[in-house]
Homo-oligomer: A and B are copies of this chain.
Amino acid sequence: MLNTDIWLTEYYEDAIGHTFKIKRNLYHAVSKFQTIDIVETDYYGCMLLLDGMVMTTENDEFIYHELITHIPLLSHHAAKKVLIIGDGDGGVAREILKYPHITEITVCEIDKMVIDACKKYLPVTASGFDSSRVNVQVKDGTEYIAQFKKHFDIIIIASADPVGPGEGLFKMEFYQNVFAALTDNGIMVNQSASPWSMQDQFKNINKSLTNIFPIVKPYISVVPTYPGSFWSWTFCSKNIEPLSNINKPLAKKISESCKFYNPEIHKAVFALPNFIKDLLTG
């Protein structure tokens, strides 16, 4: 073994890939829904893969989790009830726990084996699961959401890609149920694919959302371990604008505990390059 390197490569469209040197394979399982792997990489620490796709790593998870959480939370001045769909690694719950005024935090994740593996191997990300303030529902998010009417102030969809168990989280019927489950000032944010390497998905997600929500604003940043690295999330609401409604004193305070988010970033992520604007209007 002394002359052996182990490298894991996530290929995309059989044309590009990110490759990572591996120290150890820590965990492999096949759940009812997907394959689950956790490997320890040299560069990014422990990494979670579902069906062979990189979901999160210890060293860059803060970007995704801070941006999907603090943009909606700091755009709503009176939120009390938050639902997270997906988030098997617990990173969104961890970020929401920074807000003492949120009284109801529900994580709805379909695959308990993902939660258990993340608790064991990604304990910093999964620390949100340790709190008694977090209510975990091991259920299919598309079914769970359907029982609520005007209940949640904020819904965050931290889904995997629209293949496998996450597929239903990108359908019109699901988005309609999310809209119905939100209060009149409600906000929904979802991860909305790469505007670089998944342009059709990015376009289709935004088009679907525009048919349902009065306000739809995609925002972008970088997740270095995702295909193409450019990534997007989409802010949707019934009436709240993400930029004119920032809770500035709280945003400043929250950013003190963040590695990525700050009030300038809150605005900057909504500035879209021309090629992305063209995708949305084309």
CB within 8 Å of B: which residues of A? Answer: 7, 9, 11, 13-21, 41-44, 63, 196-197, 222, 224, 228-230, 255, 258-262, 264-265, 267-275, 277
Contact = CB atoms under 8 A, between A and B. Distances in A.
B13 A43 contact: yes
B267 A271 contact: yes
A166 to B, nearest CB: 23
Contacts of A273: 63, 259-262, 265
23 contacts: A7-B17, A9-B19, A14-B21, A14-B42, A15-B20, A16-B20, A16-B21, A17-B20, A18-B18, A18-B19, A196-B222, A222-B229, A224-B230, A255-B274, A258-B274, A259-B273, A260-B274, A260-B275, A262-B271, A262-B274, A265-B272, A265-B273, A267-B271
Contact of A17 (B18, B228, B261, B268): B18
A269 B268 CA distance: 7
Contact of A259 (B224, B255, B275): B275
Nearest to A17: B19
Contacts of A20: 15-17
Nearest to A266: B271
Contact of A15 (B16, B43, B270): B43
Given A11-B19, A268-B270, 5 more contacts: A14-B42, A15-B43, A260-B273, A262-B277, A264-B272
A277 B15 CA distance: 35
Nearest to A226: B229
Contact of A267 (B14, B265, B268, B277): B268
Nearest to A67: B273
Contacts of A270: 268
A112 to B, nearest CB: 31
A273 B255 CA distance: 10
Contact of A18 (B16, B222, B274): B16
